[in-house]
Structure 1
Amino acid sequence: MDDAQHQYVDKVATFFTMFGSTRAWAEILGWLMICEPAERTQAELAEDLGLSAGTVSTQLRTHVQLGMVEQVRVRGERVQRYRLKPGAWREVMTSELGRIQALGDLASAAAPVMPGDRPDRVTELGDLAGFFAREWPPLMARMTAELEKGTP
């Protein structure tokens, strides 16, 4: 890994750790986004990133369970390889609707305990979630259509 690649992996790791991911999980993701060849073994990931074999194994299992990374076999090799799953980022963005709706549900659940003096602390969340819940499906449909046409 050269310096520019290391800086990128570090940037990805810094971003995702802000949201509670482990640094190793985020470093693996960042490296799988840019490494060539795109497929890496556990041992290669450990060596490339300076992580222990156990850490890589644990974090890869999480990536696979989340659907971000997939296992692949290279013909003639006995070792398992891993790569960023094609379409993983589209799936992440598409699944945001569920989280948006859950935020709206949180706002609705506050009705019996709504603060009388400052209801905006809750209503703002409900308003934003409602807006994005309405707008997200057409936005994702437009994104899909543009990606299928080859225009990002």
Structure 2
Amino acid sequence: MKKFLDEFKEFALKGNVIDMAVGVIVGGAFSTIVSSLVTDIFTPVLGLATGNINFSELYVSLDGIDYPSLADAQAKSAPVLAYGNFIQNIIQFIILAFIIFLFVKGLAKLKKPKEAAPAETKVCPYCCSEIPIKASKCAHCGSELPDVDMAKA
């Protein structure tokens, strides 16, 4: 049991787990912002563009009774398919995925590309062997090398 607890402690204290926990917490807060963006901004605009359809009110009553609203049907514990909420959640997912895409793309631009390490070897044009970049004579075939930098060849 002690070995198991030690392994768990080692796992839990790794940087990856802590980073992931912070990511989940920030993601939860971010989800609230995106939810508000969809509910309070995009859904009304989308409803206006589609003839004032309120997606959150779209539902089908499975018991055959007509209810004035989804809230009324749910208050009476009626079985309903609230497909409008599903549509709203799909819109929310697409917006969230797009924002994450833009965020990751922005982070990639901020990262400076690593400079390539200078070449330490070049290829002999006669025997195609790798030799030190500063060599003037090939150690493999004995050829005199031109003063051209062959490292990129």
Task: State the TM-score, normalized to the length of structure 2.
Answer: 0.23
Decide which structure has greater helix share. Answer: 1
Question: Which structure has the greater CA radius of gyration?
Answer: 2
Task: State the TM-score, normalized to the length of structure 1.
Answer: 0.23
